[in-house]
Structure 1
Amino acid sequence: MKLILREDVEKLGDSGDIVEVRAGYGRNYLIPQGKAMMATDGALKQLERMKEQAERRAELTIEAAQDMAERLETTSVTISVSVGEDERIHGSVTNQDVAEALEERDITIDKRKISLDQDIKTLGEYTATVNLIGEIKPQIKVWVVKK
């Protein structure tokens, strides 16, 4: 039985794949669960249209990510912290702090996409990397200064 997967199915395939399965597995599990549909001529044409639309959306997303990367490459943020002896920070500067500093500059980035190259526990200049999409990973300068 030939089916088109509507969602990723473990050990079978990804969404949009055309797979060959046993009739009982397809008829009794995949189709009733909404995980697959019959691979008819109309469904195959619809799948092609959906793939084309997804590719166009992905291109737009990549273009937006490249624009954001250019904007981030030219951005540096300053984070003010309280310090103790030897200019050491109370605690450390985290990716959350960098995300909040970017938010003040009207740039919204999820804190989970920001990675610091090293632990920030002293004053100075550091680099943070933002994982946007795929290989697009701009770096931001982070200045840590005394309050």
Structure 2
Amino acid sequence: MRIILNETIESLGIIGSEVTVSDGYARNYLLPKKKAVAATISNRKMIDQRKKKVDLQIAKEKGLAEEMAKQLEGVGCKIVAKVSQEDRLYGSVTARDILDAMEKKGVKIEKQMLLLTEPIKTLGKFSVPVRIYKGVEAEITVEVVPE
């Protein structure tokens, strides 16, 4: 069955793509959940109009994300942590700690934007990548200092 996707589905394609799927998959999952519509002439026109609006919105969001990336580039924060006599951290610095420190500086970042693979467990300066939008990233500097 030929269908047009109403939303991006990783295994099939992006919004507005016309794809062929099995009849059962279309009738039992995609169509009832409004994830796709049948590929008719009227639906194609409707999806084309919707896709133009979505493309404009994506371009606008990407522009805003690039501006935010320029503002974030080079921004850093200092996190004061408790350390032992051997300068080892008690615990670790997590994404939540970094977000709180950035918020105190007036920079609002969401947790899922922060690409911290594992908590920071040592003193020093670290570069932490921030994904603002798909394909738009910036780096912030996090300095962990003893209390």
TM superposition score normalised by structure 2 = 0.79
- Structure 2 distance, partners of 1:111, 1:47, is 33
2-side partners of 1:128 and 1:106: how far apart? Answer: 18
Mark the structure with the bigger radius of gyration. Answer: 1
SS across alignment from 2:115: strand
Q: Is the 8 A contact 1:3 1:26 kept in 2?
A: no
Deviation at 1:98? 0.8
Stretches of structure 2 that go unaligned for 5 or more consecutive residues are none
User: Aligned runs of 1:1-147 on 2, under 5 Å?
Assistant: 1-7=1-7, 13-20=13-20, 25=24, 28-29=27-28, 30-116=30-116, 120-147=120-147
Higher strand content, 1 or 2:
1
Name the amino acid aligned to 2:126: Y
Across the aligned residues of Structure 1 and Structure 2, the Cα RMSD in angstroms comes to 2.8
Q: What letter matches 2:102 in structure 1? A: L
The number of equivalent residue pairs is: 146
- Alpha-carbon distance change, 101 to 9 in structure 1, aligned in 2, over 3 angstroms: closer
Query: Quick one: which amino acid aligns to residue 109 of structure 2?
Result: I
> Shift of the alpha carbon at 1:94?
1.4
- 2: CA distance between counterparts of 1:42 and 1:110? 40
Alignment CA distance shift 1:122-1:40 (3 Å): closer
Name the TM-score, length of structure 1 as normaliser. Answer: 0.79
CA deviation after TM superposition for structure 1 residue 92, in Å: 1.2
* Greater shift in the superposed pair: 42-51 or 107-116: 107-116
Sequence identity percentage: 32
